[in-house]
Amino acid sequence: MFITTRADFENNSYESQLLQIDLATKQTKLLSTRKAIRQPSWSPDGRRLAFLAPGEEGTQIHILPIRGGEAVPINTAPAGIRLFAWSLDGETLAYVTDEETPEDEDQDPHNRSFAVGNSSYLTTGLPANRAVWIIDRSGQAAQQLTAPGVTVGTDLALSGLDWSADGESLAVTVYPTPFSGDSDLGRSALIDVETGDLKWLTEDQTGESSPSFDPTSKRVAYVYPRDGVPANVREVYVRDLQTGANESWTRGLDRHIWGARWLGDGSLVVFASDELRDGCWRVTGAGSWEPVPLGEVHSVGGYDLSQDGALLFVGSGIHRPGELYYKPSLAAVPIELTSFNEF
């Protein structure tokens, strides 16, 4: 399932389509034409499809029964929703929304001054903290997990949300403030879903991002610049939650990592810049990796990966605009599924 967007020059807007594709026949099926639809995500059992789309009260989570029916919003976050993630049992969704700022009754309505922080010179107001909430799939029992004042995003960066296998924890990136200038000061943390308690993944180390649990939830991978220097290449580190061991799995690969995902066997698939093109590797431990062939694709956009190694991604070539590609296994040759940009 994927989204296409086309320019509507007559109405000076864009038209989006949410499509489902059959990997065997390459036939597509239209699922939705809602405007500004984004982040489609299957429920773990494959019976429902969730996505973000504008509603009467901002961008909300909508759930579409895949066997028929209309997509309905399951919540009404006043500030709208920035991203979400299914729990592995499909019963709960975590999401990020802007924290509401209480109104100051003593504030002069004609005085819009504010304390300037580490942000852009074009900033016209205080940025809001990004809070983590959970809600069940029926839209009930919405609950804020992060404490007031804790932010998992800035004006430039936004944490992902990764569930542990047992649904008891969420891996996130926490920032000191929501100001854009603090976007390189993130720290990986684990949130207890039951209590909301926050536990740092490492000791007093800033510059981390993209924490994710391995399939057993005994290890967490995260991205961190080499030697902690922001200007250096980004590496993937793996922290063992039982022993405390913490090591870079990609130091010897010597590439700037921009994407990493766990496989069911406990190895990682990583994407990185590789000279004049994007490259992909399967990493099985510190200093152990093997290349994943991408064929004629030179640049990789969005991607998704199954636990057994099937890979779906948007790729483009030297003389070929972006299309959707599929690899049944990491060793397979990429199969081009779409031809939207034929000319």
Calculate the average pLDDT of the chain. 93
Instruction: Read off the pTM.
Output: 0.92
pLDDT digits (tens, 9 = 90+) for 24-64: 999 999 999 888 899 999 999 999 999 999 987 889 999 99
Residue 104 predicted with pLDDT over 70:
no
**pLDDT at residue 220, as a whole number:** 98
**pLDDT at residue 4, as a whole number:** 92
SS (H, E, C) 235-271: EEEEEECCCCCEEECCCCCCCCEEEEEECCCCCEEEE
- Spatial separation of the C-alpha atoms in residues 128 and 116, rounded to whole Å: 13
Window from 90-104, 147-161, 191-205, 232-246 with minimum mean pLDDT: 90-104
**pLDDT at residue 150, as a whole number:** 97
Instruction: Concatenate the DSSP letters of all residues of 122-156 into one string.
Output: T--SPPPPEEEEEEETTS---EE-SPTT-BSB-SS
Whether the Cβ atoms of residue 213 and residue 222 lie closer than 8 Å to each other: no
**pLDDT at residue 107, as a whole number:** 74
pLDDT digits (tens, 9 = 90+) for 206-239: 999 999 999 999 999 999 999 999 899 999 999 9
Pairing of strands 2-8, 81-86: unpaired
Whether the Cβ atoms of residue 177 and residue 118 lie closer than 8 Å to each other: yes
Six-digit token string for 11: 């109405």
Taking alpha carbons only, the member of 206, 56, 274 closest to residue 222 is 206
What does each C-alpha distance from 236 to 170, 279, 287, 293 come to in angstroms?
Answer: 19, 15, 12, 20
Residues contacting 201, CB < 8 A, separation 6+: 171, 187, 188, 189, 190, 208, 211, 220, 222, 239
Q: Residues of the chain with pLDDT > 70: what percent?
A: 99
